Copies of this chain bind each other. A is one copy, B any other.
Amino acid sequence: MRKDTGGDRDEEAAVSPNPRRVTSYEVARLAGVSQSGVSRVFKPGASASAEMRHRVLAAASALGYQPNAIARTLTTGRSNMVGIIISDLTNLYFPEVLSELAARFSRHGKRVLLFTLPHEAGVDRIIGDVVGYQLDGIVSAARLSADQVSAFLSRGCPVILYNRSLGGVAAGSVCCDQNKAARRLADGLVDTGHRRIGFIGGPADSTVGRQRSDAFAARLAERGIRTTPFVESDFSYAGGHAAMLELAGRAGSGLDAVVCANDMMAIGALDATRHALGRRVPEEMSIAGFDGIDPARWDSYRITTVRQPVRRMTEAAVRMLLDQIADPARPPVRRVLPGELIVRDTVRGLAPSGDADGR
């Protein structure tokens, strides 16, 4: 009656050292139904009688059956895996983002394939993997070129850009508009009498870094402050530290305040100011950053910063990607959430807002 794929040979090997997979055929045989029945019971929307459902589930649990996601992927074309691209986990903003993204995706039944880009140029490999592993989608928090994003999209893999957006590409994006907050920060500094204000920027090719410095410098210019000593750095603690020393050396003692393009550098700059330069913060030097990472709240720092709403941003990114996956035809969305100036203790004269510092 049925073709029986040669099941009953030396099968009864007790607890064999070979952990052979249990397949839907075996469950079917034990439950006395067809393989497709088993398949249907394990597929959410499919039709199956209570009777069949019960017998299959009983057999499945007796055998310890677990549907093979790989085989399922092969037929459905959907892997239930998403890729997350992070450039650098040592910038402590990214673990926070990754942690949130991973938790949220997991909650929605998506597995997370993590790609880190330590030394650049690994993107081509990721593109290959996206195709090869049939990833359902990508969230990228790393610098990708328009061509690279297009490569994903043309393979039918939707992309959500986190904290950057690219013109001419049909990728969704979640960004943080720090313009307003950056201007408020600039105003706050000027209003409290700061006049010679330096800036420690990110790498030249960083769009976020550029946005932050531009917004800030623009407002400063509007307020009549034109010379802003600028040092380019790399978003790291050490980078901020070194940049601060350079800035201090270059600008002499006239420097009032230094704003850094992210909190990691702000922390480094603050430490350099206090411990290497021996100057007090904020009394002799004001410092501010961007991101709102956790360490910036630590008692030793309490850095005034422009915070990104990480929770809401990651939530939006996940939502958007899931939507794109569910309906690839839907036009990609660009979501912009506002950054918020969190006033803490590193800017002289600026009083902490009533803000409870919550997330």
- A residues near B (Cβ < 8 Å) are 3, 5-6, 18-19, 21, 66-71, 73-74, 79, 81, 84, 89-90, 92, 94-96, 98-99, 102-103, 106, 111-116, 118, 122, 124, 128-129, 131-134, 151, 154-156, 237, 241, 267-268, 270-272, 274-276, 294-295, 298-301
Residue of B nearest to A124 (CB): B3
**Chain B CB within 10 Å — which of A3, A270, A298 has the most?**
A298
Give A21's nearest chain B residue, CB to CB. B131
In contact, A237 and B98 (Cβ under 8 angstroms): no
Q: How far is the CA of A79 from the CA of B74 in the complex (A)?
A: 13
Chain B residue with Cβ nearest A241: B299
Complex Cα distance A298/B154, Å? 45
Q: Sort A-B residue pairs by CB-CB distance and give the 3 closest, nearest first.
A: A69-B132, A271-B299, A89-B99
Extra inter-chain contacts (18) besides given A19-B154, A68-B134, A274-B300, CB under 8 Å: A18-B156, A19-B155, A67-B132, A70-B134, A81-B133, A89-B96, A90-B95, A90-B96, A90-B294, A94-B95, A99-B116, A102-B114, A103-B118, A106-B116, A237-B294, A267-B298, A275-B299, A295-B295
Enumerate chain B residues within 8 angstroms of A155, measured Cβ to Cβ: 19
**Cβ distance A12 to chain B, nearest Cβ, rounded Å:** 16
Q: How far is the CA of A108 from the CA of B3 in the complex (A)?
A: 35
Between-chain CB contacts (< 8 Å), 12 pairs: A19-B155, A19-B156, A70-B74, A70-B133, A81-B133, A84-B114, A89-B99, A92-B95, A113-B113, A268-B298, A271-B299, A272-B299
Contact of A114 among B66, B74, B114, B128 (CB under 8 A): B114
User: Is there contact, CB below 8 Å, between B66 and A128?
Assistant: yes
